[in-house]
Amino acid sequence: MEQSAFEKLKLYLTSEPCLALPDFSKPFAVCSDASKLALGEVLVQEDETGFLHPIAFASKKLSKAETKFAVVELETISIVFAVNHFKNYLFGKHFRIYSDQQCLSKIINYKDPTSRIARWMVTLQHFDYTVIHKPGRLNLMADYLSRASYPNDESVSEKQPDVNTLDLEANIFSVNEIPNSEIIEKQNADAYCCNIKDKLNSNFVLSPNSPELFLKNNVLLCYTNSKDRHGSKAKLVVPQTLVQKILNLTHDNDTVAHPGLARTLKRIKDNLFWKGLYAQVRRYVASCHSCIQRRGFAKNVNAPVQSIPTADYRFQKVAFDAIGPLVASKNGNKWIIVISDYFTRYPETYALPNIQSHNVAKVLIDFISRHGVMQTLYSDRGSNFLSNAMQEVYTKLGISEQQTLAYNPRGNGMLERLNKTLIDTLSHLVSVQQVDWCEHLPFALMAYRNARHRILDENPSFLVYGRDPVIPYHLIFSEKVRSYSDYPSYAQQLVTKLQTAFSLVKQNLDKQAESYSKVQVSLPKNKRTVIGDLVYVHTPKIKVHTSKKLSKLNQGPYRVIKQNSPVIFQIQHIAHPLDIQTIHLNRLVKVMEREIFPTIEEKSEIVDSPVVTNETDQGLGDTNVSEEFPPLSLLYRSLVNDIDFSLRNVMCNTSVVQAQIDDDSVSYDIPGSPNFSSPATCVYDYPNPSTPVSMSNVNTNVSQIQSQGSIVQNTHPYNLKPRDNYGMVIYNKH
């Protein structure tokens, strides 16, 4: 029986009407019909014999409301259903609609349609079609689909979803073939192609090292010999005006899905050729916005560590942080607040059920009540540490608060290392269920406080209390604790011991800070950042209800507009100029800027905003910037290796910049942007003009600038370079 069913299925699959594969080089047509029961649609294409061969079928049962429509409305909704169902084939191309309703064209062209018809008209306006009347006796395929009956009509629901719908954006299939006439026209307008054509027409003998170029029907082609399966073939010589479109189709289009450099080059080289192909493809792929967002982040290359100035006395500088959430303890606590002194490394911990701001403020007050008011308090950027309640405590007690940058725990490294030690210690003490961690927390603290610290060469308890506490292992063997009857003598000895210990601790802290600076490794070139660079920001946090596997963790693009310290930069979003952030160098992803083909993501609106000053931001270190730069981005930026390019030889050929050139100087008229009146002076023309910026070092040698440190100072990052009509850079030959 199974064999009989299989043979029957094969017969049906190989009998008329067989579906044909779509040919996107030929026009499509839709046969449409409607009845009081259902809608019937057939996507067809005319073959060589003139027969309309079916490509796909579709039908839909009418709802109760739709069965009450007039006949002409049913025919209209049938067409709307057809174009939506087959939009992946029809969008962007002209097609025909065959219908047996003659007055259909009238309802589509109503001057004052009803709201329902108006909605249908809006949908149909997205398509290019012609309605052709076809009598019902000839429109058999669509007519059958609209009138087919079933043994149980109630089993067919008008809401039943399609299981075979190709749910893709239609515009990815709307690429039309470029006609030869347009290719010839663009080649004739291209300087390189036009020059080669003239030489070939004049029987000029090309260099043996040049590609084998020839003309066929006035189209410039390139002949190549290849050992792969494609063999020897002729390739189209692409004019520069079509390069952008070619790169978009071979890299950005959804059907190719952003391949890497090798695959993109292979796809292009199989059929196309143009001068400078490799360099342009490489830059295009390297500067792709979507590819940069998914690019891997090099975690093993870090910026030099910037040490916090050492403390001079106990509890001068204090850091605090939160650990958790942990398993709820027997007391209902889930969090640990850790506070530690930078000088003695003496820690305090507090177990809390939550870390709301009022609980954190109470903990801080308790710490201060026993150790005094600190001068500086370091914390991360948690909302509980930056709340209004905490700000009020800081203000009333005169505490200077310092926060680390986002996603930069190394900024509070001392406390982060303490947190790890406490957690490791607790893990050895707690039970399997871990609900007793609160009971063991004091013992973990006791172990840390009475252990000799590696950097201080002393234990924190002695530095705070001036004595070594008696702990259980002292009961095995220890000298008897001395008793003093002469209290002034004891006080004098205690002061002497503490002064000696404090002096030793201070020396050890300074020695540790000095050792950090000696072992610093210089950054590789791809991590060296200058003002004006295009960067992305690595953000490991993902949106709620999204998967990290599919997330794009590099956000941007941004332009570096200010340097606050050797490792801290201020950046501005290209598309949103008001989005200005202060970011650590470790989170910046430096990218190649797309010079040849600017995209929307790389342009920013030029807005009237004050010049960014180089004042020191609180908590971010000393400013190390010698110049001021406006918080705006022009279309293009000069590269680092162009620093020594003389400013008097710079001119721009874009619609934004009007260059006025004479024998001695070049001046630029850019609304709301710098006016370059001479190579040595740059004045920003804002509503409130700022101080002129010295540009005397414009021609400084690159190697001299790089020798100043790991951060290369760019003296004119918004240098405008001359470009031709295609955006290509023109270098002065003087």
Q: pLDDT, tens digit, for every residue of 319-329? A: 988 888 899 98
> Looking at residues 556-579, what average pLDDT do you find?
87
Phi, psi (5° rounding) for residue 642?
A: -105, 15
Q: Can you give the pLDDT at residue 350?
A: 92
Which band of pLDDT confidence, cut at 50, 70 and 90, is reported for residue 28?
very high
- Which residues does residue 319 pair with via DSSP β-bridges, in sequence order? 340, 378
Please provide the average confidence, as pLDDT, over all residues in the chain. 72
Which range, of 180-189, 208-217, 583-592, averages the lowest pLDDT?
Answer: 208-217
Residue 34 has pLDDT above 80, yes or no: yes
First to last CA, the chain: 89
Q: Can you give the pLDDT at residue 540?
A: 78
Residue 708 has pLDDT above 70, yes or no: no
Q: Can you give the pLDDT at residue 339?
A: 92
Residue 479 has pLDDT above 70, yes or no: no
Query: Hey, what are 317's tokens?
Result: 């500088």
Which band of pLDDT confidence, cut at 50, 70 and 90, is reported for residue 231?
low
Half-sphere exposure of 89 (CA within 13 A, CB side): 24
> Looking at residues 425-441, what average pLDDT do you find?
88
- Which residues does residue 449 pair with via DSSP β-bridges, in sequence order? none
Task: Look up residue 601 and give its DSSP letter.
Answer: G
- Show the domains of the chain with their CATH numbers: 1-147 (3.30.420.10), 180-287 (1.10.340.70), 317-478+491-506 (3.30.420.10), 533-590 (2.30.30)
Q: Which of 267, 92, 265, 271 is nearest to 175 (CA)?
A: 92
Top pLDDT among 353 and 617 is at 353
Q: Can you give the pLDDT at residue 157?
A: 52
Residue 175 has pLDDT above 70, yes or no: no
> Looking at residues 10-19, what average pLDDT do you find?
72
Which band of pLDDT confidence, cut at 50, 70 and 90, is reported for residue 680?
very low
Q: Can you give the pLDDT at residue 607?
A: 34
Top pLDDT among 364 and 733 is at 364
Q: Can you give the pLDDT at residue 29?
A: 92
Residue 549 has pLDDT above 50, yes or no: yes
Angle at CA of residue 684, ends 682 and 689, nearest 5°: 130
> Looking at residues 407-415, what average pLDDT do you find?
78
CB 211 within 8 A of CB 192: no
Residue 285 has pLDDT above 80, yes or no: yes
CB 292 within 8 A of CB 589: yes
CB 23 within 8 A of CB 53: no
pLDDT digits (tens, 9 = 90+) for 439-467: 889 888 888 888 888 877 788 888 888 87
With a pLDDT cut of 90, the percent of the chain lying above it is 3
Q: Can you give the pLDDT at residue 591?
A: 83
CB 375 within 8 A of CB 318: no
Top pLDDT among 414 and 619 is at 414
With a pLDDT cut of 70, the percent of the chain lying above it is 67
> Looking at residues 377-393, what average pLDDT do you find?
84
> Looking at residues 304-321, what average pLDDT do you find?
81
Top pLDDT among 35 and 545 is at 35
CB 343 within 8 A of CB 505: yes
Query: Hey, what are 697's tokens?
Result: 């070092």
Which band of pLDDT confidence, cut at 50, 70 and 90, is reported for residue 632?
very low
Residue 353 has pLDDT above 80, yes or no: yes
Residue 130 has pLDDT above 70, yes or no: yes
Torsion of CA 271, 277, 280, 284, to 10 degrees: 20
Q: Can you give the pLDDT at residue 336?
A: 92
Amino acid at 209: N
CB 568 within 8 A of CB 544: no
Pairing status of strand 588-590 against strand 658-661? unpaired
Q: Can you give the pLDDT at residue 142?
A: 79
Residue 701 has pLDDT above 50, yes or no: no
> Looking at residues 681-706, what average pLDDT do you find?
37
Residue 518 has pLDDT above 60, yes or no: yes
Q: 685-700 burial, b if ≥16 CB within 10 A, otherwise e?
A: eeeeeeeebebebbee
pLDDT digits (tens, 9 = 90+) for 87-116: 888 888 899 988 887 666 666 666 667 777
